[in-house]
């Protein structure tokens, strides 16, 4: 009998197939004692397992490329954390086996992360995956991970670690459903990059019986269990119509009456550029430079290395717009040489621009590298600072850009509610705003972007979040300046229309979402988008806001 379940749709498309469950997590090793003379051997086993797992994660990253590579390299660094390994050695020295020492040391570290604030708590799933891989290697059992199958299937998991998501084969994994996660989790972002339909934050997903046929709608978040032939036909027809519409859509982003809305790509480095170009991106709306710094957390990359990486991206968009975010270090992106290790709540502490202002040499080197990378190129370079709270922050960043001789527009990210509320003040110092809706939602609702239990508050359709977007866009319009969106909200085609109606002047997203957004925008006038935006803001809940906008745009 057909039943319908609902989670949070995070990656467009429809997948219909049999359920396959993620490999079982590693069981807890027995707590047995070893003789003192075996401690050194066990410590060696632990180190070998850690190095092997780190090497495997890096290899997976090299195969995946793009943003996934940077995520997996950061996970490999987590496995090799010196303090964590020192704790493993201590536990083995007092009688633990290698596997038990690893398990207990990671458990202690896990508890610290879980209580260390929103961002670090969001890394718990990644840490669990690293632990499971190390313990599995020590126990000689199969690694937890994607099931072996010769036939295509829909993957079900409690959560998906980046190492698993990055190497999903779209030819076999038709889509996936997770119990945990949220619309801005690593798995959701990587799913969109892969173009795999996905639904997250669906309670009870693990109870779906192996082999059951389900249909996954990654746009609506609906899961149809044992769908009828009629339902399957309807979903397949809708998917085919959507594919045809995408193929027919090309050129710059615009509404049906010609109002231009540049569609830009979010990239993490040169490896992400080909997909952006292929999708028809009109430039880059968010170049996340921190991944260049995560290659080695002990020191900053040289100016020469930075120039090389930046220039590769800038060269890909001749006469296009490339918006670079300077290093956003801190919280879930700690760097040994830069960020304090003892902050009680890093997400609310020294992060982003605050970190750079405390280390002006690092900011100066990055800005100088950007200036050199852009020399002789016709690209329109724009540089923005993360975590700007007020006009003082904005002025400090603009002054640093001028002192570095940077010939570019200077901007500020709106991720903190204060920046949205005082946007006109900030725009006295900078030339544009860019809304990071992921963090703006997190700080507006006090809702960790990685925790499935609060995913409804991370929904970018929340009317309070739309109010802050509107305030920022209205301030930019009053000052004659631009205001874009570079958070994941821009990847939702329906919401893209609403954002346009709110006055946003550009939209930046993962490359895979650009055709969907382009096609949907082209079907509606600016006036329709404005009416949809007004209807969404008049609602009281995210679901009602979405339904109200849909009703306006569908002519109901």
- The residues carrying an active-site annotation are 186, 486
Q: How far apart are CA 344 and CA 75, in angstroms?
A: 22
Q: d(Cα 203, Cα 223) in Å, to the nearest integer?
A: 12
Tokens at 107, concatenated: 């458990």
User: Can you spell out the DSSP letters for 417-457?
Assistant: HHHHHTHHHHTTT-SEEEE-HHHHHHHHHT--TT-GGGGGG
Distances in Å between the alpha carbon of 263 and those of 270, 481, 483, 505?
19, 18, 13, 10
Q: Are 125 and 96 in contact (CB under 8 A)?
A: no
Distance (Å, whole) CA 254 – CA 103: 53
| Sheet hosting strand 198-200, strand order edge to edge | 3-6, 222-225, 213-217, 14-21, 153-157, 173-178, 198-200, 8-11
Residue carrying the six token digits 């202002």: 357
CA distance 397 to 56: 39
**Tokens encoding 509:** 């997203």
Euclidean distance between CA atoms 64 and 216, whole angstroms = 24
Give the C-alpha separation, 326 to 352, whole Å.
8
Please tell me the distance from the alpha carbon of residue 304 to that of residue 314, in angstroms, as a whole number: 15
* Distances 77 to 66, 295, 336, 393 between C-alpha atoms, Å: 18, 9, 11, 31
Measured distance between the N- and C-terminal CA atoms of the chain, rounded to whole angstroms: 31
Strands 409-414 and 432-435 come out as parallel
Only one residue has tokens 């769908």, namely 227
Ordered alpha helix ranges (H), 344-408: 353-358, 360-374, 391-403
R_g of the chain, CA atoms, integer Å: 24
The pair of structure tokens assigned to 253 is 């982003």
Helices (H), 65-160: 66-79, 82-93, 98-114, 118-121, 124-139
Q: Is 539 helix (H, G, I), strand (E, B) or coil?
A: coil
**Cβ(441)–Cβ(460) under 8 Å?**
yes
Question: Strands (DSSP E) along 472-514, which ranges?
Answer: 482-485, 506-509
CA nearest neighbour of 356 among 325, 332, 310: 325
CA-based angle 158:160:166, to the nearest 5?
165
60 CB contacts (<8 Å, ≥6 apart)?
72, 163, 166, 167
- 394: nearest Cα among 454, 353, 348, 447: 353
């Amino acid at each position: 009998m057909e039943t319908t379940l609902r989670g949070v749709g995070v990656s467009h498309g429809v997948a219909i197939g049999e359920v396959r469950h993620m490999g079982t997590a590693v069981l807890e090793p027995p707590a047995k004692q070893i003789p003192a003379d075996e401690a050194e051997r066990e410590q060696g086993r632990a180190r070998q397992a850690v190095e092997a797992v780190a090497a495997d994660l890096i290899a997976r990253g090299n195969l995946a490329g793009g943003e996934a590579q940077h995520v997996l390299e950061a996970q490999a660094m987590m496995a090799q954390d010196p303090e964590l390994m020192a704790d493993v050695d201590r536990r083995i020295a007092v009688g633990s086996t290698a596997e038990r020492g690893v398990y207990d040391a990671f458990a202690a570290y896990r508890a610290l992360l879980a209580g260390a604030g929103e961002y670090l708590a969001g890394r718990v799933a990644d840490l669990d995956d690293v632990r499971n891989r190390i313990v599995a290697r020590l126990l000689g059992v199969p690694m937890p991970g994607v099931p072996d199958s010769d036939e295509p299937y829909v993957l079900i998991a409690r959560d998906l670690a980046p190492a698993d998501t990055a190497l999903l084969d779209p030819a076999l994994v038709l889509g996936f459903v997770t119990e945990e996660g949220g619309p801005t989790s690593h798995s959701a972002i990587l799913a969109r990059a892969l173009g795999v339909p996905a639904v997250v934050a669906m309670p009870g997903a693990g109870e779906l019986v192996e082999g059951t046929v389900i249909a996954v709608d990654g746009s609506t978040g609906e899961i149809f269990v044992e769908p009828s032939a009629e339902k399957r036909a309807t979903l397949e027809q809708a998917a085919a119509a959507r594919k045809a519409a995408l193929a027919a859509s090309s050129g710059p982003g615009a509404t049906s009456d010609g109002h231009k809305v540049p569609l830009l790509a979010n990239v993490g480095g040169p490896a992400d550029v080909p997909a952006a170009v292929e999708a028809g991106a009109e430039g880059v709306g968010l170049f996340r430079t921190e991944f260049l710094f995560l290659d080695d957390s002990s020191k900053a990359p040289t100016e020469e290395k930075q120039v090389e990486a930046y220039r590769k991206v800038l060269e890909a968009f001749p006469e296009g717009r490339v918006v670079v975010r300077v290093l956003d270090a801190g919280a879930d992106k700690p760097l040994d040489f830069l960020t304090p290790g003892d902050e009680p709540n890093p997400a609310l502490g020294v992060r982003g621009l605050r970190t750079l202002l405390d280390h002006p040499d690092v900011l100066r080197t990055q800005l100088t590298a950007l200036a050199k990378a852009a020399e002789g190129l016709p690209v329109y370079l724009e540089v923005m600072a993360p975590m700007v709270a007020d006009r003082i922050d904005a002025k400090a960043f603009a002054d640093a850009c001028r002192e570095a001789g940077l010939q570019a527009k200077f901007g500020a990210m709106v991720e903190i509610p204060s920046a949205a509320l005082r946007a006109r003040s900030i725009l006295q110092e900078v030339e544009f705003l860019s809304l990071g809706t992921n963090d703006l939602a997190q700080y507006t609702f006090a809702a960790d972007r990685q925790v499935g239990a609060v995913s409804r508050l991370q929904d970018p359709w929340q009317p309070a979040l739309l109010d802050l977007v509107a305030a920022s866009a209205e301030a930019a319009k009053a000052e004659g300046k631009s205001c874009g969106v570079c958070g994941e909200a821009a990847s939702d085609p329906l919401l893209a229309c609403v954002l346009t109606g709110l006055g946003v002047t550009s939209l930046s997203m993962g490359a895979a979402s650009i055709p969907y957004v382009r096609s949907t925008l082209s079907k509606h006038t600016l006036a329709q988008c404005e009416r949809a935006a007004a209807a969404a803001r008049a609602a009281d809940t995210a679901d009602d806001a979405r339904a109200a906008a849909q009703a306006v745009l569908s002519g109901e």
